[in-house]
Chain A
Amino acid sequence: MTERPVHADGEPRRGVAVLKAIVRHRIFFALVCLALVLLLNMIVTMATSGSPGSFFKIVHTNGTFNGPLITILNRSSELIIVALGMTVVVSCSAGVDISVGAVMAFSSSVMVWLLGYGTLAQNDYHVKAYVVPLALGMLAALAVGSLCGLWNGFLVSRLKIQPMVATLILYTAARGAAKVVNSGQILKVDLPNFRWFGNFIQNGAGRNIIPLPTPIFIAAGVVLIVALVLRFTALGMNIQSVGINNRASRILGLNSARIILLAYVFAGLCAAIAGIIASSRIGGIDAQNNGKMIELDAILAVALGGNLLSGGKFSLAGTVIGAITIQTLTTVLYSINVSADQLPLYKAIVVVVIVVLQSTELRPMLNRAAAFVRPRRPAVAVAQAGE
């Protein structure tokens, strides 16, 4: 950048520096992406509904606040939670956990199986009364998720297996296990409070007590707890230092293996929470579709949030913004009638663009390309002059 004239008070220079700092901040890119998709969504909503500003409108009808923004937040809840786990895993192990979607299905399957233990009649897969209390069922789901995470963490941290390969085992096995648990059927839970966690908390008469969807609160709670824990303990720093240099951290006295193990357990726990929300949404467990392909969205959310997939420093805020961006993208693609089964293609294009932009090799490469093009101009000019 060329030198700029400096005023006596030095203000412009400081202004430029601040601007530069903002642009270089890891979250800036994520925010720009989010702003872009929000803008796109706003335009599409305006075009389809015909009224400007309808995208930001929130109406209160029949005890619920309703509007595009709330729908997006509600829908991104599971993704935010899963992506938080993924962020930590990526940061300390420089690899991804691709089993989270399958773990969602498996942990919820165990929960519903336990809730209706022994009472499911042949050809009628409806849980009509809790055999064990709902809270216990949920705890079981969380335990199963954590155990799956423990297994992944063990393979990665102790046996030093590549994260993607290690988690590939549960990626296939956990969904299969989920189907075994409920004999391949969609198990339903016909009890109102089972549906609170994916919809609205209601009173006995079916009226909403809280006018906002519960998943928003669950996601906000998980984000808050994780942020506080990382803020007030050294855990966040330890995770990052293990990710930046595993060996150096160990020499400094950090138990790298245990930190990586814990990261995977946390990812499993997050998956279980997301699984509970997803199954609560439909009031039952559909092992085939619960958390299907969410691992890809979660990895994308981490990358979008400005976190390097090669590990190291991470930003939770970035991940949350990334997750919301993906859901906004999904919503806008639905709005312009892109078929749901074609969505992954568009997301894949976004992933490619983002990861390419993040590449540290890209800038030198571009510079070399620029350097390669520039000196040729005079040469061409000379050749022309010579003729």
Chain B
Amino acid sequence: MKKSLVTAGLTALLAISMTACSNNTTGTTGSTTTQPPASSSSSTAPASSSSTKAAASGYSLVPKDTNGDGLITLGFAQVGAESGWRTANTQSYKDYFVEKNGFKLVFADANQDADKQKQDVRDLIAQGVEVIDLAPVTDSGWEPVLQEAKNAGIPLIVSDRQLSVSDDLYLTYFGGNMKQEGDNAVKWLEDYIAKNNVTGPINIVHLQGTMGSTAQKGRSQALTDALAKHSDWKVVYEQTGEFTQAKGQEVMESFLQQNKDFNVIYSENDDMTYGAIDAMKNAGKDPKAPIIISFDGNKSAVQMVIDGYIDVIAECNPLLGPQVGDLIKKAKAGETIPKITYSVEGVIDSANAAEKIKTAFGS
């Protein structure tokens, strides 16, 4: 009797923990190299259309050299150091915001703790920095802190992840546009097909990122839009690889078993692409045969473009430092800054890979 009770309890625990874990994986990006913006509500809006909003919103602060040392002091409240993408992101700020470029950097690492980050921003205000760049851990609960910064007369830029606060509390949002990245990849494929006179159906294997993440939603949406436009494009397999190399390899192996024809792999980050290539190698298939589309642009992936494995990478650029610097300079010069600015991101293919690998991030 006692044993069966133990067994029954264990069963319930197992069942609960299994389903609970499945829920957990949906919301997080795991160890992916991509850290998407926390909110995607307005991420599809083109940058130009939002410039009118800037005039309407009551935010008049612009960066100024208040202490008169000839340098703009930027306080950067960073999320943490959880991925290669993030590390590269931090490094690009440290490299750009130096005296040579007319800046000074005060860096605050929140270790992925939202409460610590609010304290970090308050510390930056107290230190009297001249501009604050906030890459928020979470998208809510920021009103009081942002109001304090505004009252102190310090302009604040939100970067990487978006905030769910009234837009008269910050100068601008700056970051990547996942949908645009997907569109860039699709555009490259369209051009490639036209240029090389590819005939016959385009059979696509779609390896999705962690379901529900902004990066997955944007990049998948771009492919969905493309399918609606091209009647000869077909997805023959669609499965999530959860942004990891191991899972990407496993689901690709499973697909290869089915012996279906495919000529394009649309893989929503570099890690899953590595896995898919390994799966093809292990199955005795030529990994250079299909057109492989990847995302992010880690150094190893760019090397694979040079080696001919990956055909194109839609960049998800972590090197935001210089672009944020430009933005601050423009605002300082009195230019109107749109409320949303997307990072400039292109594609990496055989034409520019040799150049791009010099500045590629991560490993």
On A, residues with C-beta under 8 Å from B are: 45, 48-49, 51, 54, 59-64, 66-68, 71, 75, 94, 96, 123-126, 164, 183-186, 188, 199-200, 213, 278, 281-282, 284, 286-290, 293, 296, 299-300, 308-311, 331, 334-335, 337, 339-345, 347-348, 351-352, 355-356, 358-361
**Cβ–Cβ < 8 Å partners of B299 in chain A:** 124
* CB–CB B260/A125 < 8 A: no
In the complex with contacts A286-B31, A359-B4, A278-B258 CB distance below 8 A? no
* Beta-carbon contacts under 8 Å, B73-115 to A: 81-84, 87-88, 91
Contact A337 B84 (CB under 8 A): no
User: In the complex, what's the smallest C-beta–C-beta distance from B346 to chain A, in angstroms?
Assistant: 22
Nearest chain A CB to B5 CB, angstrom units: 9
Contact across chains for B285 and A334 when beta carbons are under 8 A apart:
no
- 17 contacts across the A-B interface (CB closer than 8 A): A49-B260, A71-B257, A94-B6, A123-B87, A123-B91, A125-B363, A286-B245, A289-B242, A331-B254, A334-B239, A337-B239, A340-B241, A351-B18, A352-B14, A355-B10, A359-B4, A361-B1
Q: Among the listed B10, B281, B283, which residue makes an inter-chain contact with A96, where contact means beta carbons less than 8 Å apart?
A: B10
Whole-angstrom distance from the CB of B357 to the nearest CB of chain A?
12
CB distance from B63 to the nearest CB of A (A): 29
Known contacts A61-B285, A64-B284, A286-B244: does B239 contact A347 (CB below 8 Å)? no
Across the interface, do B6 and A341 meet the contact criterion of CB distance under 8 Å?
A: no
Instruction: Give, as a whole number of angstroms, the nearest-CB distance from B203 to chain A.
Output: 13
CA distance A282 to B284 in the complex (A): 17
Provide the B15-55 mask, 1 if CB < 8 A to any CB of A, else 0: 10111011001100011000000000000000000000000
User: What is the bound-complex CA distance between A348 and B363, given in angstroms?
Assistant: 37
With known contacts A96-B10, A199-B282, A351-B11, A341–B254 Cβ distance under 8 A = no
Taking CB atoms, residues of chain A closer than 8 Å to B13 are: 164
Within the complex, the shortest CB–CB distance from B86 to chain A, in Å, comes to 9
- Interface of B toward A, CB cutoff 8 Å: 1, 3-4, 6-8, 10-11, 13-15, 17-19, 21-22, 25-26, 30-31, 81-84, 87-88, 91, 210-211, 237-242, 244-247, 249-251, 253-260, 271, 274-275, 278, 281-286, 299-300, 361-363
Of A186, A188, A290, A341, which is within 8 A of B211 by CB?
A341
Please, which residue of chain B has its CB at the minimum distance from the CB of A342? B22
Q: Which partner residue on chain A sits nearest B28 by CB separation?
A: A288
Q: Could you say which of B247, B251, B284 has the most chain A C-beta atoms within 10 Å of its C-beta? A: B284
B283 touching A355, Cβ below 8 Å: no
| B249–A282 CB distance below 8 A | yes
A295 nearest CB across to chain B (Å): 9
B6 touches A360 (CB 8 A): no
Q: Are B21 and A293 in contact (CB under 8 A)?
A: yes
CA distance A300 to B11 in the complex (A): 10
Q: Check if A348 sits within 8 Å of B14, measured CB to CB.
A: yes
Q: Is the CB of A341 within 8 A of B363?
A: no
Using known A-B contacts A75-B253, A281-B249, A348-B15, determine if residue A54 contacts B300 with beta carbons closer than 8 Å.
no
A sample of 8 more A-B contacts (CB under 8 A), given A66-B283, A299-B14, A340-B241, is: A164-B13, A286-B246, A296-B21, A334-B250, A334-B251, A335-B258, A341-B26, A344-B19
